[in-house]
Chain A
Amino acid sequence: MNKTIDINLAGILFHLDETAYRKLRKYLNAVRSSLQHQEDVDEVMNEIEARIAELLGEKQVHPQQVINDKNIDEIIAVLGEPEDYEDVVEEPVSAKNYRIKKGLFRDMDKSVFGGVAAGFAHYLGMDITLMRIVFVLILFFSHSSFGLIYLLLWIVIPKAKTASDKLRMKGEKVNLDSIVDQVSTDEPINKKKNNLGTKLENSTQEFGQVFARIIGLLIAFITGSILLVLIVSVLSLSSMSDMHIFVVNTPFYEGLNMPFGWLNSIAFVLVGFPVALLFLLGVKMLFPNAKSIGKNIFVIGGTIWFLTLVFAIVKSTSLLAHKNESAKIISEQKELSYKTDTLFLSMDKHLLMAKNNFNSNKRIHFYFKASTDDAFHLQVEKESEGIDVPEAKLKAENILYKYQIDSLQPKLVFSNKLLYPNRDFVQEHEVFVNVFVPNNKYIKMTDGVSNHTYKFYCQGDNLLKNVNGKIICEDNANTDEDWQSDENQENEVIRINGKNVNIKITDDGLDLYTDDDSNKRTHIKIDENGIQINAQKTKRSDSVKLLNQKTNNQ
């Protein structure tokens, strides 16, 4: 049983079996190519088809008879091989060697998008890959405007459709042999296209393919870049031990006691495999004809990925389930020799500089307690967490913290941050600064110390006092105003008993004076030297050192 194909030659219907049809089509295509340089090719072809119709009509016994390939062979014998059609009068004798005029076509067989680059490569006799690279380079240097030109070329340059188009595109001689070669290589593609049906379907399909390729290119590009970054970072991490690309707040590292490279390897597998899959998908979309990677690689890769995932989940859940222990150590304890009433506390961000150390902005806490004797005491405690208490203690010892005791003034300067020498993301590191205050003595907090106190936050001048074993805010009636800020050194004007009183607070101390002429006014100055009172009544400048006197009565 054989399929028959109905054809129409010069307006007459013929039934051809499939082989006969294919042979005839090939023959007519080849003849058309031979006549390439002839004017009015269509007219000549019409005449030839009419003649074929006539000859076939003679062979047909009755109109229902199916024409087979033998009939076609006979007709070709009568008409001659495609080469015989070549018009020798116009073309000189050296017909066999004459140069084919090359045509610029788009090569859809080797296209990535529209086949423009491939077409140009054929036309200029260049390697296709090289031409693509050139195209991509032009695209980059033209800031993508070449994309538009490409679209234009796509529209303007015809697609190489027929076998002879393809031969001309490649600059090959068009004769029956070459055409047969060409057609036989085209066969599968042509067949596919025929099955797909109408031209419209073909073109929409072509558009869809191109769209898929653009998407594929995007996916491949993005995932490819990610992969590259992953690989480069994993490779470089082995040399740079202080870097951590992926894993910031995972509970892995501390608990696993694994080399850090291991952690990155796990992360690499977990992230890399899906990205690689996407990359392959993109490549597949970009080059639909590309060979697929073997199933085994997928199976092996997927298994490794899955095992890694399971490992990671198990490890992290076990770590999370494990309750961390914390431990506190007393790193320093000191009695301060200041005999003053007030101890000044301040902070300095330059005391500890983070270089290679991991800069941990973990908490620093100030606590104020009553001293059991007449001296100020300082105690620094460090607290850390670990899987067990000894580990936590070890870590606490590693915390770096610094402060300075001023030898001239009653002043302690603390670092505003603590450092931890190793990578440590999970556990808390904390420093507790405990200051013990003797009875009836003061703590003055400056430079942000009050930000590190929780219980002892005082509005206003941040002055604390031990009143019979209780640390309380030394409240000043006037401290509701924004008094103590260092930047705001403008004179505050307060009226007391009908007189303006200027109150000036600096780091050095407190300055109160009335709003009179400088030689008439009452002036109270409190600083490190003690309290100076210049009263108008006394008409002389009195300087009294009052160590144990309260300062807030005018």
Chain B
Amino acid sequence: MKMENIKSQMRKGVLEYCILNILDKNDAYTSDILKELKEAKMIVVEGTVYPLLTRLKNAGYLSYRWEESSSGPPRKYYLLTDKGREFLKMMDISWADLVKAVNHISKKNIKANKTQPKL
């Protein structure tokens, strides 16, 4: 198992949650989403996002509209649907649970590490 692989797997797992979160604040077109994800270092390359967006849209969590752009092609603006909002709430809970669980385990381990003398 490579470190890179695990990292990307971890990121990919929560990517959908991040996208839904971004769109929860306001509607965004693909490049905006990508930009935000990149800034947050959630993604390195953009490719990962495209199939995700389509899948979320097909699942009914997202919808989109076209907007003309002064520079370049017309832009596809994504927005969260009601179903998406509900889904996001559920994800919020499961994410909180996950963080809690991971924290719980890792803190315990840190404690354990502290009590044990280093070899």
Given contacts A43-B54, A93-B9, whether A79 and B73 have CB atoms under 8 Å apart is no
> Contact between A84 and B51 (Cβ–Cβ < 8 Å)?
no
B39-72 interface with A by 8 A CB criterion: 44-48, 50-55, 58, 71-72
Cβ of A171 under 8 Å from chain B: no
B76 to A: closest C-beta gap in Å: 7
> Contact between B53 and A47 (Cβ–Cβ < 8 Å)?
yes
Which residues of B have CB within 8 Å of A38? 51, 54-55
Which residues of A have CB within 8 Å of B58? 39-40
Partner of A57 from the list B48, B51, B71 (CB cut-off 8 Å) is B71
> Contact between B72 and A84 (Cβ–Cβ < 8 Å)?
no
Complex CA gap A85/B53 in Å reads 12
Given contacts A39-B58, A54-B31, A87-B55, whether A47 and B48 have CB atoms under 8 Å apart is no
> Contact between B45 and A77 (Cβ–Cβ < 8 Å)?
yes
Complex CA gap A357/B48 in Å reads 92
Interface string of A34-45 (1 = CB under 8 A from B): 010011100110
Complex CA gap A164/B71 in Å reads 34
Partner of B76 from the list A40, A47, A78 (CB cut-off 8 Å) is A47
Partner of B47 from the list A11, A31, A40 (CB cut-off 8 Å) is A31
Complex CA gap A79/B51 in Å reads 12
A22 to B: closest C-beta gap in Å: 20
> Contact between A88 and B47 (Cβ–Cβ < 8 Å)?
no
> Contact between A12 and B54 (Cβ–Cβ < 8 Å)?
no
Tally of A interface residues using CB under 8 Å: 32
Which residues of B have CB within 8 Å of A90? 55
> Contact between A81 and B47 (Cβ–Cβ < 8 Å)?
yes
> Contact between A50 and B51 (Cβ–Cβ < 8 Å)?
no
> Contact between A85 and B73 (Cβ–Cβ < 8 Å)?
no
| Least CB separation from B45: chain A residue | A80
Complex CA gap A11/B66 in Å reads 14
Which residues of B have CB within 8 Å of A47? 30, 50, 53-54, 76
> Contact between B47 and A89 (Cβ–Cβ < 8 Å)?
no
> Contact between B50 and A48 (Cβ–Cβ < 8 Å)?
yes
Complex CA gap A211/B52 in Å reads 48
Cβ of B12 under 8 Å from chain A: yes
> Contact between B47 and A85 (Cβ–Cβ < 8 Å)?
yes
Which residues of B have CB within 8 Å of A85? 47-48, 50-51
> Contact between B76 and A50 (Cβ–Cβ < 8 Å)?
yes
Interface string of A50-92 (1 = CB under 8 A from B): 1101100100000000000000000001111110111111100
B98 to A: closest C-beta gap in Å: 15
Complex CA gap A282/B73 in Å reads 55
Given contacts A53-B73, A57-B72, A78-B45, whether A89 and B16 have CB atoms under 8 Å apart is yes
> Contact between A12 and B72 (Cβ–Cβ < 8 Å)?
yes
Complex CA gap A78/B45 in Å reads 5
Complex CA gap A48/B13 in Å reads 21
Tally of B interface residues using CB under 8 Å: 25
B89 to A: closest C-beta gap in Å: 19
Partner of A89 from the list B8, B12, B53 (CB cut-off 8 Å) is B12
Cβ of A10 under 8 Å from chain B: yes
Partner of B51 from the list A51, A54, A77, A87 (CB cut-off 8 Å) is A87
B53 to A: closest C-beta gap in Å: 7
Among B12, B13, B16, B46, find the residue whose CB has the most chain A CB atoms closer than 10 A.
B46
| Least CB separation from B52: chain A residue | A87
> Contact between B51 and A80 (Cβ–Cβ < 8 Å)?
no
Which residues of A have CB within 8 Å of B54? 38-40, 43-44, 47
Complex CA gap A77/B31 in Å reads 15
Which residues of A have CB within 8 Å of B8? 88
Given contacts A48-B50, A57-B71, A85-B50, whether A80 and B44 have CB atoms under 8 Å apart is yes
Complex CA gap A78/B53 in Å reads 17
Complex CA gap A10/B74 in Å reads 8
Which residues of A have CB within 8 Å of B73? 9-12, 50, 53-54
> Contact between A79 and B30 (Cβ–Cβ < 8 Å)?
no
B6 to A: closest C-beta gap in Å: 10
Complex CA gap A40/B8 in Å reads 24
B1-52 interface with A by 8 A CB criterion: 8-9, 12-13, 16, 30-31, 34, 44-48, 50-52
Complex CA gap A131/B74 in Å reads 52
Complex CA gap A88/B52 in Å reads 10
| Least CB separation from B55: chain A residue | A87
Given contacts A51-B31, A77-B45, A80-B44, whether A44 and B50 have CB atoms under 8 Å apart is yes
Interface string of A192-218 (1 = CB under 8 A from B): 000000000000000000000000000
20 pairs across A/B with beta carbons < 8 Å?
A38-B51, A39-B58, A44-B50, A44-B51, A47-B30, A47-B76, A48-B47, A48-B50, A51-B50, A53-B73, A57-B72, A77-B45, A78-B45, A78-B46, A81-B45, A82-B47, A84-B48, A88-B12, A90-B55, A93-B9
A-B pairs, top 10 by smallest CB distance, nearest first, are A80-B45, A80-B47, A10-B73, A84-B47, A85-B47, A57-B72, A87-B51, A88-B12, A79-B46, A79-B47
* Interface set of A (CB-CB < 8 Å, partner B): 9-12, 31, 35, 38-40, 43-44, 47-48, 50-51, 53-54, 57, 77-82, 84-90, 93
* Interface set of B (CB-CB < 8 Å, partner A): 8-9, 12-13, 16, 30-31, 34, 44-48, 50-55, 58, 71-74, 76
